[in-house]
């Protein structure tokens, strides 16, 4: 399926007017989170693979803050020429809009490529006295447990608040400037738990620094097959899957968008990316730019419904 999408994208590129020697200079990719999180890892992996197919480098620029709004605001205000891309993930390109004021409009960004999806893990620091989900829920009914997130309105935040409503408890939200710092405080025992991508937490779980209780996908993940899903544990309506991709400034010529989309689809199919994705439990997505745009629209509507149903308010 992905190969058919790549061929279709290449045909589109061939039918468009020629773009003079694009790219003629380095392409900057804004990662609107701190280094070390899943967005950063996936971006660097795709960019490194794509670098083999063009004569210009990708420059990764981490700009955390306001749950990604700081970095993506740079993308939304960049020249519409394809030389500034942004990592467009579930928080900054979808969940944020349901809860917090945005410094740019959705129409300022143009979805360009869907990299991957990944399920989350509900993980505790090793000092929390709960060995299973039922014990965790019971503990949360006796004291207010804290959780870390990459910011107000982030997928970490909304996912935890969604679970609070499902479990009938109240959690204490601690917001950080990116997932990386939040994970460090989770490992240090400064917050009790976090709902973060399995890919990011799996090695910490293997080392014993964290205790995983469940995954949030519809099925178990191959990289942590012993962890049950929330569905298996009695919560059949809860599925929380994160995703990553690239967007650029709206108004960028469609031939440039198609060129970049075909480039990243090609990178997605390289053996190194496929192997690393499998190791991390990432699901390759790919396809045309329109596919990613439709997915973002559906996810934005979903999180708006979650915020409304659970009466989630910004802090």
Same domain, 133 and 158: yes
Q: Which domain holds residue 43?
A: 2-118+241-310
Same domain, 252 and 110: yes
Same domain, 99 and 126: no
Beta-carbon neighbour count of residue 21 at 10 Å? 9
Paired with 244 in beta bridges are 116
Assess whether pLDDT exceeds 50 at residue 156. Answer: yes
Give residue 189's pLDDT. Answer: 96
Give residue 154's pLDDT. Answer: 82
Kindly report, residue by residue over 202-251, the tens digit of the pLDDT: 999 999 999 999 999 989 999 999 999 999 999 998 888 989 999 999 99
- Whether the CB-CB separation of 43 and 87 falls below 8 Å is answered with yes
Give residue 67's pLDDT. Answer: 79
| 279 in a structural domain | yes
Give residue 83's pLDDT. Answer: 98
How many structural domains comprise the chain? 2
Same domain, 109 and 246: yes
Give residue 13's pLDDT. Answer: 45
- Whichever domain contains 184, its CATH number is 3.40.190.10
42-51 average pLDDT score = 96
Give residue 4's pLDDT. Answer: 56
Least confidently predicted of 58-67, 168-177, 301-310: 301-310
Contact residues for 84 (Cβ-Cβ < 8 A; gap 6+): 27, 28, 30, 74, 75, 78, 248, 249
Q: pLDDT averaged over the chain?
A: 90
| 232 in a structural domain | no
Same domain, 93 and 6: yes
Residue 18 pLDDT grade (very low, low, confident, very high; cuts 50, 70, 90): very low
The whole-angstrom separation of Cα 86 and Cα 61 is: 9
Secondary structure (DSSP) of the chain: -HHHHHHHHHHHHHHSPPPTTS-SSPEEEEE-S-TTSHHHHHHHHHHHHHGGGSSS-EEEEE---GGGHHHHHHHHTS-SSSSEEEE--HHHHTGGGGTS--SS-GGGEEEEEEEEEEEEEEEEETTS--SSHHHHHHHHTTS--EEEESSTTSHHHHHHHHHHHHHT---EEEE-SSHHHHHHHHHTTSSSEEEEEHHHHHHHHHTTSEEEEEE-SSS--TTSTTSPBTTTTT-TT---EEEEEEEEETT--HHHHHHHHHHHHHHHTSHHHHHHHHHHT-EE----HHHHHHHHHHHHHHHHHHHHHHT----
Give residue 39's pLDDT. Answer: 87
Give the residue from 213, 214, 218, 220 showing the smallest Cα distance to 237.
218
- Whichever domain contains 96, its CATH number is 3.40.190.150
Same domain, 10 and 79: yes
Same domain, 251 and 109: yes
Same domain, 90 and 52: yes
| 277 in a structural domain | yes
Contact residues for 91 (Cβ-Cβ < 8 A; gap 6+): 67, 68, 150, 151, 153, 154, 155, 156
Give residue 2's pLDDT. Answer: 52
Q: Cα torsion for 43, 33, 105, 50, to the nearest 10°? A: -10
Assess whether pLDDT exceeds 50 at residue 137. Answer: yes
């Amino acid at each position: 399926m992905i190969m058919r999408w790549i061929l279709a994208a290449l045909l589109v590129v061939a039918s468009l007017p020629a773009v003079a020697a694009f790219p003629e200079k380095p392409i900057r990719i804004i990662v609107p989170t701190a280094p070390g999180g899943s967005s950063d890892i996936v971006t660097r992996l795709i960019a490194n693979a794509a670098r083999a197919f063009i004569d210009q480098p990708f420059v990764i620029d981490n700009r955390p803050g306001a749950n990604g709004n700081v970095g993506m605001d740079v993308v939304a205000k960049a020249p519409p020429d394809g030389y500034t891309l942004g990592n467009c993930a579930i928080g900054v390109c979808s969940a944020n809009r349901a809860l917090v004021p945005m410094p740019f409009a959705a129409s300022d960004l143009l979805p360009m490529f869907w990299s991957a999806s990944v399920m989350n893990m509900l993980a505790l620091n090793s000092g929390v006295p709960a060995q299973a989900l039922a014990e965790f829920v019971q503990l949360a009914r006796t004291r207010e447990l804290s959780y870390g997130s990459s910011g107000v309105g982030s997928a970490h935040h909304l996912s935890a608040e969604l679970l609070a409503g499902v479990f009938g408890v109240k959690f204490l939200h601690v917001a950080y400037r990116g997932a990386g710092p939040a994970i460090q405080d989770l490992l240090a025992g400064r917050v009790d738990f976090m709902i973060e991508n399995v890919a990011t937490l799996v090695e910490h779980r293997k080392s014993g620094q964290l205790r995983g209780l469940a995954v949030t996908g519809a099925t178990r993940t191959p990289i942590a097959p012993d962890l049950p899903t929330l569905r298996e544990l009695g919560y059949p309506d809860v599925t929380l899957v994160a995703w990553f991709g690239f967007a650029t400034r709206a108004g960028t010529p469609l031939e440039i968008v198609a060129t970049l989309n075909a480039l990243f689809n090609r990178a997605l199919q390289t053996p190194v990316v496929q192997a690393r994705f499998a190791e991390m439990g990432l699901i390759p997505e790919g396809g045309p730019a329109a596919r990613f745009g439709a997915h973002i629209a559906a996810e934005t509507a979903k999180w708006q419904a979650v915020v409304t149903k659970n009466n989630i308010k910004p802090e």
